[in-house]
A and B are shown apart, each in its own frame.
Chain A
Amino acid sequence: MIHSVIERVDRETPTTVTILFPWEKEVRPGQFIMVWIPGVGEIPISLSFTGHTKGITVKSYGPTSTAITKLRAGEKIFFRGPYGNTFRKHDGKALIVGGGSGMAGLLPLITPESHGLVSARTKAELLFADRFSPEKLTTVTDDGSSGIKGFAVEGLKSMDLGEFSMMYVCGPELMLKSVLDYISGDGIDADFSLERHMKCGIGVCDSCSIDGLQLCTQGPVFTKSALLNSREFGRERLSVSGLRVKL
């Protein structure tokens, strides 16, 4: 395991924190690390900060992610990586679409010119919406407490996508599927960063696989065209035991 000493912990939303720590390693946007809390567990988390100081933005969910959100500055953080691929570079106008904590992995892509669609259950959980200029931001909430009421795809329907040639999308798989279905016939290209149950992070356990490819080594970023031909994306996955279940 690699370890580092945490420099700072920032609260982003009521359930989400960013943990910043020094790590001399070149990391590309989209890549992730396996974060280990000794005695509790190990989970994959994408890097939200990829400069000299690295950062992860974590939502309290299960036992391990909850333990990570309780880490404090000065404490050690244990991890291995970086793992996974990166987003394709794009020179044209791009739209960044993040659902829930999915915005974390998209943060390194945001520039002052970026347009964003940020969605969450409620206004307080909108992550990194403040990183976009207000005129370039669309927000969507399940409960309508900010922006458009509904799921992320409702936000897309309210926008003129014709001005964009690329989308970078991260969030729960069913949200990704609804976005893919919506843009399937359009000229707009897209990279989707997927989240699936992952155990090993290094391409051996087969837990995170989709259509024969491993999210951890051949993803987590998949192109629009790869997912359009997928038999498992948005439909089925393997559970922690390996049981095939519907999404």
Chain B
Amino acid sequence: MPSLKTTITGIGLQNPLMLASGILDENGYTMKNILECGAAAVVTKSIGREERTGYRPPIVAEVPDGLLNAVGLSNPGIDNFGNEVGIALQAGKPVIGSIFGGTADDFLYVGKKMEEYGANALELNLSCPHVLGVGSEVGSDPELVEEIIGELKNKIEIPVWAKLSPNVTNILEIANAASKADAFVVINTVRGMAIDIYARRPVLSNAYGGLSGRAIKNVGIRYVYQLYKETGKPIIGVGGIEAYEDAIEYLMAGASALEIGTGVYSKGKGIFSEINSGISSFMESEGIASIKELVGAAVQ
């Protein structure tokens, strides 16, 4: 039997599949349930310094091959999130704290708390594309990205993952600014929008949203490949993984671990065990013994 085990920034994973940030990861019991359904780790909803209610619904629109969302970074504030991390950790698997902020100070405050709560790593939401002053405003400012990551790496023990946005002209510029991060998470949602032609209005209350799901898989593959090749940094691949073939493709493009978000909506919570079993059969039939052999296998 091939082994599905993998390691990312020193964190051992039973298999390469983690729950992506923003899907079913606000309530500790839900995260625990997802871990019990076969995910190797969960990434929490992005948490900031203050409580935010986010946008009013509609916050999501079902579109062909994916979802559009503009949730607006609703979160209870980091001071109120410890209980949820604690509940999720009861599953005995890694919990990654996703955090956002407008300044290095915000990121440090939230990151410190996440570390205290027992998170195994931080994922920096540098790329949430829909809130003014945070999100891509931060992620498209190389100097600020460098300052944030520098500050966290100096003062935080747990690994720091930088989640990068595809909504930039040159992703390498931001990757270079984030070079002190322990890993890159690639990609966040792609900017998008949907209009209801009978209502003659944008569907999302925020009008603009982020596109996820199969529709963006080949965007993700391209950036994972490029960043693996150009930076050699450990990469977590995310974007449109719904079948084992997608997972293998991301691994071969250079990802050492993967995240699934929209796939949980389209395929249900069984997606983690289904894809793991597909990866295992593929490895067996192709004579591959470990995930490591697949990582970057297609990169030339």
Report which A residues bind B (CB closer than 8 A): 1, 3, 34, 36, 38-39, 41-43, 76, 78, 80, 199-207, 209-214, 231-232, 238-244
Which residue of chain B is the closest to A206 with respect to CB atoms? Answer: B26
Could you name 27 residue pairs across A and B whose Cβ atoms are closer than 8 Å? A1-B198, A3-B198, A36-B58, A41-B56, A42-B58, A43-B57, A199-B60, A200-B57, A200-B60, A200-B69, A202-B265, A204-B67, A206-B24, A206-B25, A212-B29, A212-B30, A214-B24, A214-B30, A231-B29, A238-B27, A241-B74, A242-B45, A242-B75, A243-B51, A243-B76, A244-B80, A244-B83
Residue B10 is within 8 A (CB to CB) of chain A in the complex: no
Chain A contacts for B172, CB-based, 8 A: none
Which residue of chain A is the closest to B262 with respect to CB atoms? Answer: A204
Residue B23 is within 8 A (CB to CB) of chain A in the complex: yes
Partner among B26, B32, B196 whose Cβ is within 8 Å of the Cβ of A1: B196
Q: How far is the CA of A238 from the CA of B74 in the complex (A)?
A: 12
Which residue of chain B is the closest to A239 with respect to CB atoms? Answer: B76
Q: How far is the CA of A97 from the CA of B156 in the complex (A)?
A: 54
Residue B226 is within 8 A (CB to CB) of chain A in the complex: no
Chain B contacts for A34, CB-based, 8 A: 57-58
Are B199's CB and A1's CB within 8 A? yes
Are A241's CB and B199's CB within 8 A? no
Are A204's CB and B264's CB within 8 A? yes
Are B30's CB and A209's CB within 8 A? yes
Q: Closest approach, in angstroms, between the C-beta of B75 and any C-beta of chain A?
A: 5
Question: Chain B, interface size: which category?
Answer: 35 or more
Which residue of chain B is the closest to A1 with respect to CB atoms? Answer: B196
Are A241's CB and B52's CB within 8 A? yes
Are A243's CB and B80's CB within 8 A? yes
Are A42's CB and B198's CB within 8 A? no
Q: How far is the CA of A36 from the CA of B199 in the complex (A)?
A: 10
Are A232's CB and B29's CB within 8 A? yes
Chain B contacts for A244, CB-based, 8 A: 27, 76, 80, 83-84
Chain A contacts for B261, CB-based, 8 A: 204
Report which B residues bind A (CB closer than 8 A): 22-27, 29-30, 32-34, 36, 45, 51-54, 56-60, 62, 67, 69, 71, 74-77, 80, 83-84, 196, 198-199, 201, 203, 205, 261-262, 264-265
Are B29's CB and A211's CB within 8 A? yes
Are B76's CB and A242's CB within 8 A? yes
Q: Given A205-B59, A241-B54, 8 other A-B contacts at CB below 8 A?
A: A34-B57, A41-B57, A204-B22, A206-B25, A206-B26, A210-B29, A242-B74, A244-B83
Q: Closest approach, in angstroms, between the C-beta of A5 and any C-beta of chain B?
A: 10
Partner among B27, B36, B76, B196 whose Cβ is within 8 Å of the Cβ of A38: B196
Q: Closest approach, in angstroms, between the C-beta of B169 and any C-beta of chain A?
A: 30
Are B265's CB and A203's CB within 8 A? yes
Are B30's CB and A206's CB within 8 A? yes
Which residue of chain B is the closest to A208 with respect to CB atoms? Answer: B27
Q: Closest approach, in angstroms, between the C-beta of B211 and any C-beta of chain A?
A: 14
Q: How far is the CA of A3 from the CA of B77 in the complex (A)?
A: 37
Are B29's CB and A209's CB within 8 A? yes
Q: Closest approach, in angstroms, between the C-beta of B162 and any C-beta of chain A?
A: 23
Most-contacted residue by chain B among A201, A205, A239, A240 (CB, 10 A): A205
Most-contacted residue by chain A among B30, B67, B71, B75 (CB, 10 A): B30
Partner among B23, B25, B62, B199 whose Cβ is within 8 Å of the Cβ of A80: B62
- Known contacts A204-B24, A241-B54, A244-B80; A38 and B29 CB within 8 A of each other: no
Q: How far is the CA of A33 from the CA of B22 in the complex (A)?
A: 23
Partner among A42, A202, A212 whose Cβ is within 8 Å of the Cβ of B62: A202
Q: How far is the CA of A214 from the CA of B265 in the complex (A)?
A: 11
Which residue of chain A is the closest to B27 with respect to CB atoms? Answer: A209
Q: Closest approach, in angstroms, between the C-beta of B214 and any C-beta of chain A?
A: 15
